[in-house]
Amino acid sequence: MTTHVLQFVEFSDQDRKAAKAFDKLGKGDRVEVRVRRKSGGDQIVRLPLKAAALLETALGHLLQGERVAILAEDQELSPNDAADILGISRPLVVHRMDVSDLPFRYVGKHRRAKLKDVLALKSRIDAQRVAAEALTGNTRDLAQRHGASPAKKSKSVGRASNRGSAPKDVDQLVLGTTNAPYRRTISSADLVARLTSRDWQNWLAHVVTFFTEVRPELVLRFARLHAIPVRDLVAAYRSMKSATGETNPALESAFERLA
């Protein structure tokens, strides 16, 4: 059985200088591809408008120095290829496979997922992220209408504070973002247990989302609310970073300010 490898096409600097972008295709335009045969004869292939639009888009990306790959939806991808499309690390792709978020099969000892399943997962992630951002905005607006003020900066996140958003609002904001991309939902108690023990069990992807997608001030507020010492929070972040390669420079800067 043939296995496919994701192959990208890219232009060299010389190619980009020599090539020219299409003028915008308009209604009634026709696109023809002329193939100049070595034998001397020419072959002309007329492209349907949709195929021409695809060619126009691909050429535009190539001229901007980006790589382009055209794949059939049933083409099988490695975890590395899927990671490129999803914009996450390979360990998180493997975790998604293990928790049945991304269907896959083994080809020998290697995991393979179909492009259509990777794209379906990406669509779910994108849609859920938009929903989580909307929830965050609505909750923040509600807090402002009720006169809630931001929590004061503190060198410690080990004690709960009565200032800032109500505990229920903090948990709702954090868990709304943390759970958004996944079918399984983690509770605040389970998230606290995972952070303090650094034993991810089957919650690694949720912990990564907590550290990389939740706003740094909310990460710190959640830790303060649930009495997680700053040293334990930093240690959990570093452990996650080491395991997956995922990072959050803004959160790291917040940690440095607390040091």
CA 195 to chain centre: 21
Residue 145 and residue 248 in one domain: yes
Answer with the one of 63, 85, 100 that is the final residue of a domain.
63
- Indicate the burial class of 186 (C-beta count within 10 angstroms; 0-12, 13-18, 19 or more): buried
What's the one-letter identity of residue 64? Q
CA distance between the termini of the chain: 56
What's the one-letter identity of residue 146? H
Q: How confident is the model at residue 166 (pLDDT cuts 50, 70, 90)?
A: low
Residue 133 and residue 254 in one domain: yes
Q: How confident is the model at residue 144 (pLDDT cuts 50, 70, 90)?
A: low
The answer to whether 82 and 92 have CB atoms below 8 angstroms apart is: no
Please state, in angstroms and rounded to a whole number, the distance separating the CA atoms of residues 69 and 63. 14
Does 1 map to a domain?
Answer: no
The structure tokens listed for 196 are: 């303090």
The structure tokens listed for 49 are: 């408008």
Q: Alpha-carbon torsion 252, 256, 257, 259, what sign?
A: positive
Residue 163 has pLDDT above 90, yes or no: no
- At 238 the pLDDT is 95
The structure tokens listed for 80 are: 């590395």
Does 36 map to a domain?
Answer: yes
Residue 85 and residue 42 in one domain: no
Per-residue model confidence as pLDDT tens digits over 86-107: 888 888 898 889 888 899 999 9
Residue 215 and residue 141 in one domain: yes
Please state, in angstroms and rounded to a whole number, the distance separating the CA atoms of residues 104 and 33. 37
Does 170 map to a domain?
Answer: yes
What is the share, in percent, of the chain residues with pLDDT greater than 90? 34
Does 68 map to a domain?
Answer: no
**Residue 246, CA distances (Å) to 47, 52, 201, 209 in order:** 42, 38, 18, 9
**Alpha helices by DSSP H, the chain:** 13-18, 49-63, 79-86, 90-98, 115-145, 167-179, 188-197, 204-213, 216-225, 230-244, 249-258
Residue 89 and residue 200 in one domain: no
- At 152 the pLDDT is 43
Does 38 map to a domain?
Answer: yes
**Residue 99, CA distances (Å) to 80, 159, 184 in order:** 18, 34, 9
The answer to whether 236 and 230 have CB atoms below 8 angstroms apart is: no
Residue 183 has pLDDT above 70, yes or no: yes
Residue 221 has pLDDT above 90, yes or no: yes
**Cβ-proximal residues to 74 (8 Å cutoff; 6+ apart), any chain:** 114, 115, 116
- At 19 the pLDDT is 80
Q: Taking the model in full, what pTM does it have?
A: 0.56
Q: Which domain holds residue 40?
A: 13-63
Does 196 map to a domain?
Answer: yes
Does 69 map to a domain?
Answer: no
Residue 151 and residue 59 in one domain: no
Does 94 map to a domain?
Answer: yes
- At 88 the pLDDT is 82
Per-residue model confidence as pLDDT tens digits over 15-68: 888 887 777 777 778 888 888 888 888 888 888 877 877 888 888 888 888 888
Residue 131 and residue 223 in one domain: yes
User: How many independent structural domains does the chain possess?
Assistant: 3
Which has the higher per-residue pLDDT, 178 or 161? 178
Mean per-residue pLDDT, 104-117: 94
Please state, in angstroms and rounded to a whole number, the distance separating the CA atoms of residues 11 and 67. 8
- At 162 the pLDDT is 41
